[in-house]
Amino acid sequence: MEDSFGHHISYLRVSVTDRCNERCRYCMPEEEQPWFAKEDTLTYEEMTRVVRVGATLGIKRIRVTGGEPLTRPGIAGFCGELTQIPGIEGVGISTNGTLLAKTEGGTTLAEKLVKAGVRTANVSLDSLDRATYQRTTSRDLLPRVLEGIDAAIDAGFDSIRLNCVLMKGQTERELPALIDFARRKNALLRFIELMPVSTQDVLSEDNFLPIATAKQLVEQTTGPLIAEPDFKTNGPAVYHRVPASGQRVGFIGAMTNLHFCENCNKLRLTCDGKLRPCLGSYLEFDLRAVLRGGCTDAELAAFFQNVVARKPKEHDFRDNYQPNRKMIAIGG
Ligand code: SAM
Ligand code: SF4
C-alpha cells in the first residue's frame, strides 16, 4: 500500500488494551481512568483477522502495544497467532517491562513471548534511580522492570530496545547510567522527545528536552558520536554510534526532526477498533463497526486502503496540537 505522499505502508501497531499497571506522568493521569468496556475492545480473533487482511495488502511487521499489553490475559498466545499469518515477517512487543519476569508454571512471560515467535521487545526505561522511576511512573516498580529486562535477555529475544522519554531537569543526570546499563545489557537505547499525546500538565515547554541537546549531553559521557544514517530499525529513530565501544544510541525526535514523517510506514489499530493513519492527527476510522457489521475480507481490505489514502503528509504535533484521545487509548 502506498499513500498519496509516497509512504509505503508495511507496519501495523496493534494496541490490545488501554489499561496499564503504571501511570507515567506524560501518558496517563493518576486519577481513576474511564477504561473502554470489555465489549468495546476488539477480541483477539477480531484483531487477528484485521492483521490477516492487512498482510494481504503488504503489512509485514506488527508491534503489539497498549496501554500495557502484558496485562491482557492470553497475550503470548495472541502474538503466536500473529506470527503464523502468511506475509507477517516480524512481531515485536512494546512493554513497560514490569511483567516480563512474571512466572506461570515455571515459565516467564518473556519466555512465552519468545516461544510464540516474538522477536523484539521494546522496554520503557526512563530512569535507573528508584525514586525518579517512581515519580515518573507513579509506581515503585523499578526492581521488577530490571528483573523483566533480565528475563527478556534470558528468554533470547533477537533484540531488546530500551526507550527513554526525555524530560528536561530529569533525564540529563540519568544519561551516563542509562548508557552504561544499555551497553552492559547489550540493548539498543533510544531517547524519545516528549510528544503532546495526552493533556497532562507535564507536556509543557518547561519539561521539553530536544534530542539535539540530549545528544550533546550523551557526548559528554561518550565522546563525539558517529552518525549512522544507514542503520534503521522500523521507525523514525536516527542512530549514532559510540566510537570507543561500538554501542548504538537512537534519537526519536517527533518535534524537532523535520524529516520525522518522511519515511513513515505505519498504521495503528486501537484496542477499540479504530484504524488511525497517524499518531499525531485527529483522523481515525471505525473499523470495529465494519468488522462487527459482518463485512467480507474484501470490504475490510477496501477499508484499509481508504485509510491509507487519507494518511496525512506529516503529523500535526507542531501546530499546538490538542489530542482527541490519549496515548494510552491509541497505543504507543
Ligand atoms: N506500556 C508500554 C510502554 O510503556 O512501553 C507500551 C505503551 S506506551 C504508550 C509506548 C511508548 O510511548 C512508551 O515508550 C512511552 O514511554 C511512550 N510515550 C507515552 N507517552 C508519551 C509522550 N507524551 N511522549 C513521548 N512518548 C510517550
Ligand atoms: Fe502505561 Fe506505558 Fe503509558 Fe507508562 S507509557 S502509563 S507504562 S502505557
CATH of residue 215's domain is 3.20.20.70
113: closest CA among 130, 137, 129, 95? 95
Three cell numbers written together for 57: 495488502
pLDDT of residue 249: 96
Interval between CA 245 and ligand 2 midpoint (Å): 31
- Is the distance from the beta carbon of residue 327 to the nearest atom of ligand 1 less than 6 Å? yes
Task: For residue 16, tell me if it sits in a domain.
Answer: yes
Q: 266-269 and 274-276: which strand pairing?
A: antiparallel
Better-scored residue on pLDDT, 257 or 320 = 257
Interval between CA 325 and ligand 1 midpoint (Å): 14
Contact between 22 and 138 (Cβ < 8 Å) = yes
Task: For residue 254, tell me if it sits in a domain.
Answer: yes
- Is the distance from the beta carbon of residue 157 to the nearest atom of ligand 1 less than 6 Å? no
Residue whose grid cell is 497475550 = 75
Task: Write out pLDDT tens, residues 205-229.
Answer: 889 999 999 999 999 989 999 999 8
Task: For residue 4, tell me if it sits in a domain.
Answer: no
- What is the number of structural domains in the chain? 1
Three cell numbers written together for 326: 490519549
Task: Write out pLDDT tens, residues 121-137.
Answer: 999 999 999 999 999 99
Interval between CA 19 and ligand 2 midpoint (Å): 9
pLDDT of residue 74: 97
Task: For residue 53, tell me if it sits in a domain.
Answer: yes
Q: Which atom of ligand 2 is nearest to the CA of 27?
A: 3
Better-scored residue on pLDDT, 9 or 321 = 9
Task: For residue 1, tell me if it sits in a domain.
Answer: no
315: closest CA among 266, 269, 245? 266
pLDDT of residue 232: 83
Going by pLDDT thresholds of 50, 70 and 90, the confidence category of residue 329 is low
How large is the average pLDDT for residues 38-46? 96
Task: For residue 3, tell me if it sits in a domain.
Answer: no
Task: For residue 2, tell me if it sits in a domain.
Answer: no
Task: For residue 111, tell me if it sits in a domain.
Answer: yes
Q: What is the domain range of residue 320? A: 11-329
